[in-house]
Amino acid sequence: MFTYLTNGERSLFDEFDRLQREMDQLFGGWPRGAIRGGRAGAFPPINIGATDDAVHVYVYAPGFDASRFDVTIQQNVLSIGGSRAPEPREKRTWYLRERFEGDFRRAVTLPEDVDPERVEASYRNGILHLVIKRRAAVRPRQIPIA
């Protein structure tokens, strides 16, 4: 059943990967490579990066109305919610539907040095971009040595 890395045969890791996919299918997990990422509840996908001055959050939610987002920061927890109205229902049989509709909410913990009073938000080309500035007093100060 299991083979090791020899002459292009399947490896033990390939078998574990296959077993994981089958378990995901059995218990209702999203298949790998699905449009909404890799696990249920992970919509919309979010990328978070940081610079010395700010934390940048990118929320990938195409087709939403910017006024339908609900973004809050409380005790260093960023909460992003929103909704997409359902498409008009026509009498048809769907064979595959991957476009998300309805309500969603994601919450992520931010670093302790962010300033919730200094946030910039923009929504362009289906990407909600939040820039959350860091507190100046918390940033390390370089001390020159004479």
Residue 56 — very low, low, confident or very high, per pLDDT cuts 50/70/90? Answer: very high
| pTM (2 d.p.) | 0.63
Answer yes or no: is pLDDT of 90 > 60.
yes
pLDDT in tens, 113-144: 899 999 999 999 999 999 999 987 766 778 88
Residue 10 — very low, low, confident or very high, per pLDDT cuts 50/70/90? Answer: low
- All domains of the chain in start order, with CATH: 1-41 (no CATH), 43-88+96-141 (2.60.40.790)
Q: Can you tell me the mean pLDDT for 30-42? A: 47
Q: Between 122 and 100, name the one with better pLDDT.
A: 122
The 3-class SS string of the chain reads: CCCCCCCCCCCHHHHHHHHHHHHHHHCCCCCCCECCECCCCCCCCEEEEECCCEEEEEEECCCCCHHHCEEEEECCEEEEEEEECCCCCCCCCCCCCCCCCEEEEEEEECCCCEEEEEEEEEEECCEEEEEEEECCCCCCCCCCCC
